[in-house]
Structure 1
Amino acid sequence: MDFGTSEPMLQALRASVAAAQTVQLTGMPEARLSLAQSTVHLAMAPKSNAVITGIDEAMADVRAGAVGEVPAYLRYGRYAGAEKLGNAVGDRYPHAAPDGVLEQQYPPDALVGKDYYRPTQRVGERALRELLAKLRRTLRSG
Protein backbone atom coordinates (compact mmCIF):
# COMPACT_ATOMS: atom_id res chain seq x y z
CA MET A 1 0.00 0.00 0.00
CA ASP A 2 1.46 3.35 -1.00
CA PHE A 3 1.03 6.10 1.61
CA GLY A 4 2.94 8.77 -0.38
CA THR A 5 2.69 12.53 -0.05
CA SER A 6 0.97 15.43 -1.75
CA GLU A 7 3.62 16.72 -4.11
CA PRO A 8 1.91 20.02 -5.15
CA MET A 9 1.66 21.11 -1.51
CA LEU A 10 5.28 20.18 -0.84
CA GLN A 11 6.41 22.06 -3.95
CA ALA A 12 4.60 25.21 -2.80
CA LEU A 13 6.18 24.94 0.65
CA ARG A 14 9.64 24.38 -0.85
CA ALA A 15 9.23 27.40 -3.14
CA SER A 16 8.21 29.61 -0.21
CA VAL A 17 11.04 28.44 2.03
CA ALA A 18 13.59 28.78 -0.77
CA ALA A 19 12.46 32.34 -1.53
CA ALA A 20 12.63 33.31 2.16
CA GLN A 21 16.11 31.81 2.46
CA THR A 22 17.24 33.59 -0.70
CA VAL A 23 16.13 36.92 0.74
CA GLN A 24 17.86 36.14 4.02
CA LEU A 25 21.10 34.96 2.44
CA THR A 26 21.50 37.30 -0.53
CA GLY A 27 19.23 40.22 0.21
CA MET A 28 17.66 42.63 -2.22
CA PRO A 29 17.72 43.37 -5.09
CA GLU A 30 19.28 39.97 -5.91
CA ALA A 31 16.43 38.03 -4.29
CA ARG A 32 13.71 39.70 -6.33
CA LEU A 33 13.75 36.97 -9.00
CA SER A 34 13.32 34.22 -6.40
CA LEU A 35 10.48 36.18 -4.78
CA ALA A 36 8.79 36.70 -8.14
CA GLN A 37 9.10 33.04 -9.11
CA SER A 38 7.77 31.92 -5.73
CA THR A 39 4.89 34.39 -5.96
CA VAL A 40 3.88 33.09 -9.39
CA HIS A 41 4.16 29.49 -8.21
CA LEU A 42 1.95 30.15 -5.18
CA ALA A 43 -0.53 32.20 -7.20
CA MET A 44 -0.93 29.32 -9.67
CA ALA A 45 -1.16 26.63 -6.98
CA PRO A 46 -4.58 25.07 -6.27
CA LYS A 47 -6.38 26.78 -3.39
CA SER A 48 -8.37 25.26 -0.54
CA ASN A 49 -9.44 26.23 2.94
CA ALA A 50 -9.78 22.60 4.10
CA VAL A 51 -6.74 22.89 6.39
CA ILE A 52 -7.82 26.08 8.16
CA THR A 53 -11.39 24.79 8.45
CA GLY A 54 -10.08 21.65 10.15
CA ILE A 55 -7.83 23.64 12.49
CA ASP A 56 -10.71 25.95 13.42
CA GLU A 57 -13.00 22.97 14.15
CA ALA A 58 -10.33 21.29 16.30
CA MET A 59 -9.68 24.49 18.24
CA ALA A 60 -13.42 24.96 18.80
CA ASP A 61 -13.62 21.43 20.22
CA VAL A 62 -10.68 22.13 22.53
CA ARG A 63 -12.28 25.37 23.75
CA ALA A 64 -15.58 23.54 24.33
CA GLY A 65 -13.80 20.82 26.32
CA ALA A 66 -14.78 18.15 23.79
CA VAL A 67 -11.40 16.48 23.74
CA GLY A 68 -11.39 13.47 26.05
CA GLU A 69 -8.31 11.74 27.40
CA VAL A 70 -5.36 10.38 25.49
CA PRO A 71 -5.64 6.56 25.29
CA ALA A 72 -3.65 5.01 28.15
CA TYR A 73 -1.33 3.02 25.87
CA LEU A 74 -0.18 6.26 24.22
CA ARG A 75 0.64 7.98 27.50
CA TYR A 76 4.20 8.33 28.75
CA GLY A 77 5.23 5.23 30.62
CA ARG A 78 8.89 5.48 31.59
CA TYR A 79 8.42 6.04 35.30
CA ALA A 80 7.72 3.87 38.33
CA GLY A 81 4.04 3.01 38.57
CA ALA A 82 3.18 3.77 34.92
CA GLU A 83 2.38 0.16 34.12
CA LYS A 84 0.06 -0.06 37.11
CA LEU A 85 -1.88 2.89 35.63
CA GLY A 86 -1.96 1.22 32.22
CA ASN A 87 0.23 3.89 30.68
CA ALA A 88 2.23 2.77 27.62
CA VAL A 89 0.87 -0.78 27.97
CA GLY A 90 -0.12 -2.26 24.60
CA ASP A 91 1.25 0.53 22.42
CA ARG A 92 2.23 -0.76 19.00
CA TYR A 93 5.08 0.69 16.95
CA PRO A 94 3.84 1.67 13.47
CA HIS A 95 7.38 2.21 12.18
CA ALA A 96 7.91 -1.56 12.38
CA ALA A 97 4.78 -2.31 10.31
CA PRO A 98 5.33 -3.07 6.61
CA ASP A 99 3.51 0.11 5.49
CA GLY A 100 4.42 2.20 8.54
CA VAL A 101 0.73 2.31 9.46
CA LEU A 102 -1.31 -0.07 11.58
CA GLU A 103 -4.72 -0.32 13.14
CA GLN A 104 -4.56 1.49 16.46
CA GLN A 105 -6.67 4.16 18.11
CA TYR A 106 -4.87 7.48 18.45
CA PRO A 107 -7.58 10.00 19.35
CA PRO A 108 -9.42 9.99 22.66
CA ASP A 109 -12.63 7.94 22.71
CA ALA A 110 -14.67 11.14 22.43
CA LEU A 111 -13.05 11.96 19.08
CA VAL A 112 -12.95 8.54 17.41
CA GLY A 113 -14.27 8.93 13.87
CA LYS A 114 -14.10 12.73 13.94
CA ASP A 115 -12.25 13.94 10.87
CA TYR A 116 -11.06 17.50 11.08
CA TYR A 117 -9.20 17.56 7.79
CA ARG A 118 -11.44 16.85 4.82
CA PRO A 119 -9.55 17.42 1.57
CA THR A 120 -11.56 18.69 -1.37
CA GLN A 121 -11.83 17.11 -4.83
CA ARG A 122 -9.67 19.87 -6.29
CA VAL A 123 -6.52 18.95 -8.15
CA GLY A 124 -4.06 19.72 -5.35
CA GLU A 125 -5.99 17.74 -2.74
CA ARG A 126 -7.48 14.88 -4.75
CA ALA A 127 -4.46 12.62 -4.15
CA LEU A 128 -4.44 13.57 -0.47
CA ARG A 129 -8.13 12.71 -0.22
CA GLU A 130 -7.47 9.23 -1.61
CA LEU A 131 -4.39 8.74 0.58
CA LEU A 132 -6.24 9.88 3.68
CA ALA A 133 -9.10 7.48 2.94
CA LYS A 134 -6.56 4.61 2.78
CA LEU A 135 -4.92 5.70 6.01
CA ARG A 136 -8.24 6.03 7.82
CA ARG A 137 -9.37 2.59 6.62
CA THR A 138 -6.13 1.06 7.92
CA LEU A 139 -6.21 2.88 11.25
CA ARG A 140 -9.89 2.14 11.84
CA SER A 141 -10.01 -1.44 10.61
CA GLY A 142 -10.51 -2.87 14.08
Structure 2
Amino acid sequence: AAAATAPDEDGIRRIDLETIEGALQKKALLYDKAEEHYNIVSALHKSLRGSDPDAALYWLARMLEAGEDPLYVARRMIRFASEDIGNADPHALVVAVAAKEAVEFIGMPEGDLALAQAAIYLATAPKSNAVYRAYEKAKQDVLSKTAPPVPLHIRNAPTRLMNELGFGKGYKYPHEYDDALVEQDYLPAALRGRIYYEPTDRGYEAKIKARLERWRAILTERRRKTK
Protein backbone atom coordinates (compact mmCIF):
# COMPACT_ATOMS: atom_id res chain seq x y z
CA ALA A 1 0.00 0.00 0.00
CA ALA A 2 2.85 2.39 0.82
CA ALA A 3 4.61 1.70 -2.47
CA ALA A 4 1.43 2.55 -4.37
CA THR A 5 1.11 5.91 -2.63
CA ALA A 6 2.92 8.99 -3.87
CA PRO A 7 4.83 11.00 -1.26
CA ASP A 8 3.44 14.38 -0.26
CA GLU A 9 5.36 17.66 -0.33
CA ASP A 10 7.20 16.62 2.82
CA GLY A 11 8.26 13.35 1.22
CA ILE A 12 5.94 11.28 3.46
CA ARG A 13 3.77 8.54 2.06
CA ARG A 14 0.43 8.77 3.86
CA ILE A 15 -1.86 5.74 3.96
CA ASP A 16 -5.59 5.95 4.64
CA LEU A 17 -8.37 3.33 4.76
CA GLU A 18 -9.19 3.77 1.08
CA THR A 19 -5.56 3.13 0.15
CA ILE A 20 -5.44 -0.04 2.25
CA GLU A 21 -8.71 -1.31 0.76
CA GLY A 22 -7.36 -0.71 -2.71
CA ALA A 23 -4.14 -2.57 -1.94
CA LEU A 24 -6.00 -5.49 -0.40
CA GLN A 25 -8.77 -5.33 -3.01
CA LYS A 26 -11.14 -6.07 -0.15
CA LYS A 27 -13.47 -3.79 1.74
CA ALA A 28 -12.51 -3.13 5.35
CA LEU A 29 -15.51 -4.10 7.47
CA LEU A 30 -16.64 -2.15 10.52
CA TYR A 31 -16.13 -4.70 13.26
CA ASP A 32 -14.38 -4.23 16.56
CA LYS A 33 -14.16 -6.15 19.80
CA ALA A 34 -16.40 -3.72 21.65
CA GLU A 35 -19.95 -2.56 20.94
CA GLU A 36 -20.14 -3.44 17.24
CA HIS A 37 -18.82 -6.93 17.93
CA TYR A 38 -21.64 -7.64 20.38
CA ASN A 39 -24.21 -5.99 18.12
CA ILE A 40 -23.37 -8.41 15.31
CA VAL A 41 -23.23 -11.41 17.66
CA SER A 42 -26.69 -10.40 18.88
CA ALA A 43 -27.93 -10.03 15.31
CA LEU A 44 -26.73 -13.54 14.44
CA HIS A 45 -28.31 -15.08 17.54
CA LYS A 46 -31.64 -13.33 17.02
CA SER A 47 -31.70 -14.26 13.31
CA LEU A 48 -31.18 -17.92 14.22
CA ARG A 49 -33.86 -17.72 16.92
CA GLY A 50 -36.20 -16.00 14.47
CA SER A 51 -35.79 -18.87 11.97
CA ASP A 52 -34.35 -16.64 9.23
CA PRO A 53 -31.53 -18.56 7.48
CA ASP A 54 -30.76 -15.70 5.08
CA ALA A 55 -30.22 -13.13 7.81
CA ALA A 56 -28.22 -15.68 9.80
CA LEU A 57 -25.92 -16.26 6.82
CA TYR A 58 -25.44 -12.53 6.33
CA TRP A 59 -24.42 -11.88 9.92
CA LEU A 60 -22.24 -14.98 9.94
CA ALA A 61 -20.43 -13.68 6.85
CA ARG A 62 -20.04 -10.25 8.47
CA MET A 63 -18.32 -11.87 11.42
CA LEU A 64 -16.07 -14.24 9.50
CA GLU A 65 -15.03 -11.83 6.75
CA ALA A 66 -14.14 -9.23 9.37
CA GLY A 67 -11.75 -11.69 11.00
CA GLU A 68 -13.79 -13.02 13.92
CA ASP A 69 -12.41 -16.18 15.51
CA PRO A 70 -14.42 -18.98 13.83
CA LEU A 71 -14.28 -21.06 17.01
CA TYR A 72 -15.98 -18.23 18.89
CA VAL A 73 -18.77 -18.36 16.31
CA ALA A 74 -18.97 -22.15 16.70
CA ARG A 75 -19.23 -21.83 20.49
CA ARG A 76 -22.12 -19.39 20.11
CA MET A 77 -23.89 -21.85 17.80
CA ILE A 78 -23.40 -24.70 20.26
CA ARG A 79 -24.94 -22.62 23.04
CA PHE A 80 -27.79 -21.63 20.72
CA ALA A 81 -28.51 -25.27 19.85
CA SER A 82 -29.21 -26.07 23.50
CA GLU A 83 -30.77 -22.78 24.55
CA ASP A 84 -33.16 -22.10 21.66
CA ILE A 85 -33.71 -25.51 20.02
CA GLY A 86 -33.04 -28.08 22.72
CA ASN A 87 -35.07 -31.26 22.46
CA ALA A 88 -37.28 -29.88 19.69
CA ASP A 89 -34.42 -31.17 17.52
CA PRO A 90 -31.69 -32.87 19.59
CA HIS A 91 -29.63 -33.31 16.41
CA ALA A 92 -29.05 -29.54 16.30
CA LEU A 93 -26.47 -29.86 19.07
CA VAL A 94 -24.70 -32.61 17.11
CA VAL A 95 -24.60 -30.39 14.01
CA ALA A 96 -23.22 -27.41 15.94
CA VAL A 97 -20.50 -29.48 17.62
CA ALA A 98 -19.62 -31.09 14.27
CA ALA A 99 -19.18 -27.62 12.75
CA LYS A 100 -16.76 -26.71 15.54
CA GLU A 101 -14.80 -29.91 14.98
CA ALA A 102 -14.73 -29.31 11.21
CA VAL A 103 -13.27 -25.83 11.72
CA GLU A 104 -10.64 -27.24 14.08
CA PHE A 105 -9.78 -30.01 11.60
CA ILE A 106 -9.59 -28.15 8.27
CA GLY A 107 -9.11 -24.57 9.48
CA MET A 108 -10.09 -21.42 7.67
CA PRO A 109 -11.11 -20.31 5.14
CA GLU A 110 -12.34 -23.82 4.22
CA GLY A 111 -14.21 -24.15 7.51
CA ASP A 112 -16.56 -21.32 6.63
CA LEU A 113 -18.98 -23.65 4.86
CA ALA A 114 -19.24 -25.93 7.89
CA LEU A 115 -20.33 -22.92 9.92
CA ALA A 116 -22.70 -21.79 7.18
CA GLN A 117 -24.25 -25.26 6.98
CA ALA A 118 -24.72 -25.30 10.75
CA ALA A 119 -26.24 -21.80 10.73
CA ILE A 120 -28.81 -22.84 8.12
CA TYR A 121 -29.66 -26.01 10.06
CA LEU A 122 -30.09 -24.11 13.33
CA ALA A 123 -32.19 -21.38 11.74
CA THR A 124 -34.55 -23.87 10.10
CA ALA A 125 -34.87 -26.24 13.08
CA PRO A 126 -37.99 -26.21 15.31
CA LYS A 127 -37.46 -23.98 18.33
CA SER A 128 -37.87 -24.60 22.05
CA ASN A 129 -36.34 -22.98 25.12
CA ALA A 130 -37.82 -25.61 27.46
CA VAL A 131 -34.38 -27.00 28.39
CA TYR A 132 -33.13 -23.50 29.21
CA ARG A 133 -36.21 -22.70 31.32
CA ALA A 134 -36.04 -26.05 33.11
CA TYR A 135 -32.42 -25.64 34.12
CA GLU A 136 -32.97 -22.05 35.25
CA LYS A 137 -35.78 -23.22 37.56
CA ALA A 138 -33.67 -26.05 38.97
CA LYS A 139 -30.72 -23.69 39.44
CA GLN A 140 -32.92 -21.19 41.25
CA ASP A 141 -34.05 -23.88 43.69
CA VAL A 142 -30.45 -24.89 44.30
CA LEU A 143 -29.26 -21.32 44.89
CA SER A 144 -32.22 -20.07 46.93
CA LYS A 145 -32.74 -22.99 49.30
CA THR A 146 -30.59 -24.86 51.78
CA ALA A 147 -29.29 -28.08 50.26
CA PRO A 148 -31.56 -30.91 51.49
CA PRO A 149 -30.04 -34.37 51.96
CA VAL A 150 -30.30 -37.05 49.28
CA PRO A 151 -33.23 -39.37 50.11
CA LEU A 152 -31.96 -42.55 51.78
CA HIS A 153 -33.44 -44.95 49.23
CA ILE A 154 -31.46 -43.44 46.31
CA ARG A 155 -28.16 -43.02 48.15
CA ASN A 156 -25.10 -45.01 47.14
CA ALA A 157 -24.34 -47.84 49.58
CA PRO A 158 -20.93 -49.35 48.75
CA THR A 159 -20.14 -50.48 52.32
CA ARG A 160 -21.82 -52.67 54.94
CA LEU A 161 -22.00 -49.74 57.36
CA MET A 162 -23.87 -47.66 54.81
CA ASN A 163 -26.28 -50.53 54.27
CA GLU A 164 -26.82 -50.76 58.01
CA LEU A 165 -27.50 -47.03 58.11
CA GLY A 166 -30.26 -47.53 55.56
CA PHE A 167 -28.50 -46.17 52.49
CA GLY A 168 -30.30 -47.55 49.45
CA LYS A 169 -32.97 -49.27 51.55
CA GLY A 170 -36.33 -49.45 49.83
CA TYR A 171 -35.03 -48.55 46.39
CA LYS A 172 -37.24 -49.96 43.63
CA TYR A 173 -35.38 -51.07 40.50
CA PRO A 174 -37.47 -49.78 37.55
CA HIS A 175 -36.52 -52.64 35.21
CA GLU A 176 -38.35 -55.06 37.48
CA TYR A 177 -41.66 -53.28 36.83
CA ASP A 178 -43.97 -53.06 33.82
CA ASP A 179 -42.96 -50.34 31.38
CA ALA A 180 -39.82 -49.85 33.54
CA LEU A 181 -41.95 -47.48 35.62
CA VAL A 182 -42.34 -47.48 39.38
CA GLU A 183 -43.88 -45.06 41.87
CA GLN A 184 -40.84 -43.61 43.61
CA ASP A 185 -39.61 -40.21 44.79
CA TYR A 186 -36.27 -39.03 43.45
CA LEU A 187 -36.33 -35.42 44.64
CA PRO A 188 -35.76 -34.37 48.26
CA ALA A 189 -38.94 -34.29 50.34
CA ALA A 190 -39.07 -30.47 50.31
CA LEU A 191 -39.21 -30.49 46.50
CA ARG A 192 -41.50 -33.47 46.03
CA GLY A 193 -43.73 -33.04 42.99
CA ARG A 194 -41.66 -30.16 41.58
CA ILE A 195 -41.70 -30.07 37.76
CA TYR A 196 -38.86 -28.29 35.99
CA TYR A 197 -39.03 -29.61 32.45
CA GLU A 198 -42.18 -28.68 30.55
CA PRO A 199 -41.71 -29.77 26.93
CA THR A 200 -43.37 -27.93 24.07
CA ASP A 201 -45.47 -29.35 21.24
CA ARG A 202 -42.79 -28.54 18.66
CA GLY A 203 -40.57 -30.97 16.80
CA TYR A 204 -39.24 -34.05 18.58
CA GLU A 205 -40.14 -32.50 21.92
CA ALA A 206 -43.80 -33.23 21.17
CA LYS A 207 -42.92 -36.94 21.36
CA ILE A 208 -41.15 -36.42 24.67
CA LYS A 209 -44.18 -34.57 26.01
CA ALA A 210 -46.51 -37.38 24.94
CA ARG A 211 -44.22 -39.98 26.53
CA LEU A 212 -44.09 -38.13 29.85
CA GLU A 213 -47.86 -37.72 29.85
CA ARG A 214 -48.32 -41.44 29.16
CA TRP A 215 -45.94 -42.39 31.98
CA ARG A 216 -47.73 -40.11 34.42
CA ALA A 217 -51.09 -41.56 33.38
CA ILE A 218 -49.80 -45.10 33.96
CA LEU A 219 -48.56 -44.23 37.45
CA THR A 220 -51.80 -42.40 38.26
CA GLU A 221 -53.82 -45.45 37.22
CA ARG A 222 -51.66 -47.74 39.36
CA ARG A 223 -52.21 -45.49 42.37
CA ARG A 224 -55.95 -45.57 41.73
CA LYS A 225 -55.99 -49.37 41.64
CA THR A 226 -54.04 -49.73 44.88
CA LYS A 227 -56.40 -47.51 46.88
The answer to whether the Cα contact below 8 Å between 2:95 and 2:118 also exists between their aligned partners in 1 is: yes
Give 2:199's match in structure 1, choosing from 119, 123, 128. 119
The answer to whether the Cα contact below 8 Å between 1:50 and 1:118 also exists between their aligned partners in 2 is: yes
Q: Which residue of 1 aligns with 2:139?
A: 59
Are the structure 2 counterparts of residues 50 and 10 from structure 1 closer, same or farther at C-alpha, using a change threshold of 3 Å? closer
The count of aligned residue pairs is 137
Cα deviations by residue, 1:78-134 (Å, 9 ceiling, x for unpaired): 123212221012223335556444332211122221110111223352222112223
Q: How far apart in 2 are the matches of 1:48 and 1:129?
A: 12
Q: Which residue of 2 aligns with 1:15?
A: 95
Does 1:50 find its partner at 2:130?
Answer: yes
Are the structure 2 counterparts of residues 95 and 20 from structure 1 closer, same or farther at C-alpha, using a change threshold of 3 Å? farther
Q: Which residue of 2 aligns with 1:110?
A: 190
Q: Which residue of 2 aligns with 1:40?
A: 120
Structure showing the higher helix proportion among its residues: 2
Give 1:80's match in structure 2, choosing from 160, 176, 190. 160
> % of aligned pairs identical?
38
Q: What is the DSSP-based 3-state SS (H/G/I as helix, E as strand, rest coil) of the residue aligned with 1:123?
A: coil
Cα deviations by residue, 1:26-64 (Å, 9 ceiling, x for unpaired): 111222222111110001112222221111111111122
The answer to whether the Cα contact below 8 Å between 1:67 and 1:110 also exists between their aligned partners in 2 is: no
Q: Which residue of 1 aligns with 2:8?
A: none
Relative contact order, higher structure (CA 8 A, sep 6+)? 1
With normalisation by structure 1, the TM-score equals 0.79
Higher mean Cα deviation, 13-22 or 98-107? Answer: 98-107
Q: What is the DSSP-based 3-state SS (H/G/I as helix, E as strand, rest coil) of the residue aligned with 1:81?
A: helix
CA RMSD of aligned residues (A): 2.6
With normalisation by structure 2, the TM-score equals 0.52
Give 1:28's match in structure 2, choosing from 108, 132, 135. 108
The answer to whether the Cα contact below 8 Å between 2:134 and 2:198 also exists between their aligned partners in 1 is: yes
Letter aligned with residue 13 of structure 1: L
The answer to whether the Cα contact below 8 Å between 1:69 and 1:109 also exists between their aligned partners in 2 is: no
Unaligned runs of 5+ in 2: 1-85
Unaligned runs of 5+ in 1: 1-5
Letter aligned with residue 70 of structure 1: V
The answer to whether the Cα contact below 8 Å between 2:199 and 2:208 also exists between their aligned partners in 1 is: yes
Q: Which residue of 2 aligns with 1:131?
A: 211
Are the structure 2 counterparts of residues 18 and 30 from structure 1 closer, same or farther at C-alpha, using a change threshold of 3 Å? same
Letter aligned with residue 198 of structure 2: R
Higher mean Cα deviation, 26-35 or 95-104? Answer: 95-104
- Computing the radius of gyration from Cα coordinates, the structure with the larger value is 2
Q: How far apart in 1 are the matches of 2:87 and 2:202?
A: 14
The answer to whether the Cα contact below 8 Å between 1:77 and 1:88 also exists between their aligned partners in 2 is: yes
